[in-house]
């Protein structure tokens, strides 16, 4: 959604909540998490700069781990969900590994 002031807001209608100021900027950049340009995009966000590189990397690691866990423990959902979780889990864990060097 686009707010009247031009800010972009991500909404999951079933779970709509006000999040931390860094959450939307980070979610908006996750598409590039496994690419080096992600690091430049993080630096370009005041909210993510304030959050810090370590916290961004930790978020990637935790998100990747959570998706891997859900793949192994939750077999419900639409067709293709498990494969999506596997791909995204690997992507986020690789991004965390890359950022950790």
Domain span at residue 73 reads 18-100
The whole-chain average pLDDT of the chain stands at 92
Closest C-alpha among 42, 99, 81 to residue 72? 81
Please check whether residue 52 lies inside any domain of the structure.
yes
Task: Please tell me the total count of domains within the chain.
Answer: 1
Asked whether residue 3 is domain-assigned, the answer is no
- Nearest-angstrom CA–CA distance, 77 and 29: 26
Q: 53-78, pLDDT tens digit by residue?
A: 999 999 999 999 999 999 999 888 88
3-state DSSP assignment of residue 2: strand
**Residue 24 located in a structural domain:** yes
The answer to whether 93 and 57 are in contact (CB under 8 A) is no
- Has this prediction a pTM greater than 0.85? no
Residue 51 lies in a domain: yes
Quickly list DSSP for 8-19: B----GGG----
Q: Is residue 41 part of a domain?
A: yes
């Amino acid at each position: 959604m686009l707010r009247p002031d031009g800010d972009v807001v991500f909404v999951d209608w079933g779970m709509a909540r006000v999040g931390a100021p860094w959450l939307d900027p980070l979610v908006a950049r996750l598409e590039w998490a496994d690419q080096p340009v992600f690091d430049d995009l993080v630096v370009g966000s005041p909210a993510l700069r304030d959050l810090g590189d370590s916290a961004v990397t930790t978020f990637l690691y935790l998100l990747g781990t959570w998706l891997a866990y859900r793949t192994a423990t939750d077999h419900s959902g639409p067709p293709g969900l498990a494969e999506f979780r596997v791909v995204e889990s690997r992507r986020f864990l690789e991004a965390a590994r890359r950022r950790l060097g």
